[in-house]
Amino acid sequence: MSDGQIVVSGLTKHYKLVKAVDNLSFTVQPGRVTGFLGPNGAGKTTTLRMLLNLVRPAAGTATIGGRRYADLPDPIRHVGAVLEASSAHKGRTGRNHLRVICRSAGIPLTRADEVLELVGITAAGRRKFKGYSLGMRQRLGIAAALIGDPGVLILDEPANGLDPEGIRWMRDLLKMLASQGRTILVSSHLLSEMELLADDIVIIAAGQLVQQGTVRQVVDSMAHGGRVRVRTPQAEELTTALKGTAEVQATGDGALLITGVEAPAVGAAALRAGVELHELVGERPDLEAVFLELTKGKAGIR
Amino acid sequence: MTTVQTAAPQRQRGSRPGALRLISAEIMKIRTTNTWWLFLLGMIVVTALAFTVNAVGHHYTLHPPLDQINQNSDAARQARAQAAAANTPAGLAKIAADLMTSGQFFGLLLAMILGILVVTNEFFHQTATTTFMTNPHRTSVILAKAVAALLFGVLFWLVATVLDLIATPVFLNSEHVSVSISQWTVVQSVLLNLVAFAMWAILGLGLGTLLRSQIGSVVTGTVLYLIGSAAVALIFQLIHNIYPHDWVLTAEVIAPAIASAVMITPGGQAFDHAPAQWVGAVVLIAWTVLAGGVGTWLTRRRDIS
């Protein structure tokens, strides 16, 4: 599974007059969960579909373990993907849906029952797909992706339609799969969920790469040293003590918001000035704030 | 708590080669929905009805109700002449062939619609993504679908032929005529019927790959099949009125439904100035190859979303 690196290089796709994906390059490492983030219409789904040979790029390449998807022998043994929730015949049972995939990939049909159990819908397996809830459809999609026991998993908005318990289940499953050395690439716009799930993130907007790195790196890139919240009865003395090194703003509720320095520096300055502190909190922006800042103005309808 | 079993499923020992695997998967897709038995049921109903209508028609040809019409009228003379012609070995062979291919007209329509569904289901139910991810070689997938559609076309033909094979001798005996249904004229018609079922199933598949829309393809195909031949015949008749050469009428064979009729009608008697049977077969094959070829080419190029 060490060959599960995904490399996207110069990928471009036009639709009529719109550049859905514009010279996009990034890499995804094995053994980690990588969140693929972007506003609606940023080109996430198109990128994933180009990666899976479903959409033809106008330029650029996308490889998995050094090979294009179409060149992989028995691709579902290398790559599993969950693209849309409703991708099964309404009149076919979930189990038969999986068995058809097994059959066309030359995998024993009993594998269908194994993956059904793995995603916890064994009982629903013999029911027709049209009776499935959105959560069951997602689980069936994940089951289908796991049939070939692939080293690479690609999921497009897998949390859609899952209840909180389902989301937690999926988070645990994906983290465990990553810990086994697999490559997990998950697109989403649920940023709080991504903060809990992802190790690395790739942010795109308007078809272009905005930022790539670990969650920490990306958040820090926008944090500018963070922000410090202070409560003190001697606000004026502290403001004077910090003059020139930081910007101090008074909030309505009597606290001060200090930007430009870290919390230890504020504490040290207060100690030197003999200022009494009641509260000193270093505040970091969360992924959501960073994401909104990074993609500002690029999220419009295109 | 969820556990993931990581032991990679090994490829089935003695697993089939890729092509057979794909065909088998396509057949499984048809078998795991209601489609196949609904169509088989339809096939049985259509064959039974068609046989009944044909049998009644042939009964009156062989035994015209002469006591009900004026013995000296033209109608009576015509009926007597028809009965006499039908009672010859050639006439009886034609009747036997006709009965043995009962269910053909609507059966071919069912075969074509099945061919359409084999491919449009993938887009209608959004399973094309899974199908083409499991096998990114789209031409192989379409070819496997063509084989699956063809096999079901053959199955439909088999159902119709078995029913006809049971009912035809019963009818012929009850009419007190002696004719062998194993003579070449009859066998030839039954075999050409088989070719027609196979071709229309693949023609439907080609239409489906071309249009992708399930409803659009079914409506287009049905209209072309049911009304297309009449419309084409009318157009060529009009051209013939302006430009009266016999080959204009012969050229009607370019319409698939007419080509199919020419192919299965012995002795080039599908219509006035109809070409030989093999011409019908060639035209039908050409349409099948064209529809399937263009459809496959488009499927290879098109984005799946």
The Cα of A63 is separated from the nearest Cα of chain B by a number of Å equal to: 14
Which chain A residues are within 8 Å of B16, Cβ to Cβ? 106
A11: left (phi over 0), alpha (psi -120 to 50) or beta: beta
Mean pLDDT in residue range B74-95: 88
The pLDDT value recorded for residue A217 is 85
Look at residues A82, A95, A50 and name the one whose alpha carbon lies nearest to residue A177. A82
Tell me which residue of A146, A151, A158, A182 sits closest to A72, measured CA to CA. Answer: A151
Mean pLDDT of B2-27: 66
Q: Is B92 exposed, middle or buried (0-12, 13-18, 19+ CB in 10 A)?
A: buried
Between residues 14 and 53 of chain A, which touch chain B (CB distance below 8 Å)? Answer: 45, 49, 52-53
Which residues of chain A lie closer than 8 angstroms to B24, CB-CB? 103-104
Q: Which of B26-30, B41-45, B235-239 shows the lowest per-residue confidence on average (mean pLDDT)?
A: B235-239
Residue corresponding to tokens 């319409």? B255
The pLDDT value recorded for residue A256 is: 87
Q: Which of residues 147-166 of A touch B (CB under 8 A)?
A: 147-149
Are B2 and A111 a contacting pair at CB < 8 A?
Answer: no
pTM of the predicted model, to two decimals?
A: 0.86
Cβ atoms of B260 and B108 closer than 8 Å: yes
* Tokens found for residue B225: 């099949």
Position B14 pLDDT exceeds 50:
no
Q: Evaluate whether B294 touches B210 at the Cβ level (below 8 Å).
A: yes
Q: What pLDDT shows up at residue A225? A: 56
Residue A9 in contact with residue A65, Cβ under 8 Å?
no
CB–CB contact B303 A49 (8 Å) = yes
pLDDT digits (tens, 9 = 90+) for B54-81: 999 999 999 888 777 777 788 888 888 8
Q: CB count, 10 Å around CB of A236?
A: 10
Percent of chain B residues past pLDDT 70, beyond the cut: 93
Position of tokens 């049921």? Answer: B41
Q: Do B129 and A87 touch (CB under 8 A)?
A: yes
Given a cut of 90, is residue B153 above it in pLDDT? yes
The alpha-helical segments, DSSP class H, found in chain B are 18-31, 35-62, 74-86, 89-100, 104-124, 128-134, 138-174, 184-211, 214-223, 229-242, 246-250, 256-264, 277-301
| Residue in A70, A88, A177 nearest the CB of B127 | A88
- CA A169/CA A179 separation, integer angstroms: 15
* Residue B276 pLDDT grade (very low, low, confident, very high; cuts 50, 70, 90): confident
From A110's Cα to the closest Cα of chain B, the distance in A is 10
Nearest to B130 among A72, A107, A144 (CB): A144
Least CB–CB distance from A52: residue in B2, B24, B133: B133
The answer to whether A116 faces chain B, any CB pair under 8 Å, is no
Q: How far is A258 from chain B (nearest CA, A)?
A: 45
CA distance B178 to B275: 31
With an 8 Å Cβ cutoff, is A100 touching chain B? yes
Structure tokens at A257: 């918001």
State residue B54's pLDDT score: 95
Helix axes B35-62, B74-86, angle to 10 degrees: 120
pLDDT value for A223: 61
Pick the residue of B32, B130, B141, B300 with the most A CBs within 10 A to test the interface with A by mutation. B130
Distance from CA of B271 to the nearest CA of A (A): 43
Residue A8 has which token pair?
């996207």
Three-state secondary structure of chain A: CCCCCEEEEEEEEEECCEEEEEEEEEEECCCCEEEEECCCCCCHHHHHHHHCCCCCCCEEEEEECCECHHHCCCHHHCEEEECCCCCCCCCCEHHHHHHHHHHHHCCCCHHHHHHHHHCCCCHHHHCEHHHCCHHHHHHHHHHHHHCCCCCEEEEECCCCCCCHHHHHHHHHHHHHHHHCCCEEEEEECCHHHHHHHCCEEEEEECCEEEEEEEHHHHHHHHHCCCEEEEECCCHHHHHHHCCCCCEEEECCCCCEEEECCCHHHHHHHHHHHCCCCCEEEEECCCHHHHHHHHCCCCCCCC
pLDDT of residue A301: 47
pLDDT value for B244: 86
Spans of chain A, pLDDT less than 50? 1-2, 301-302
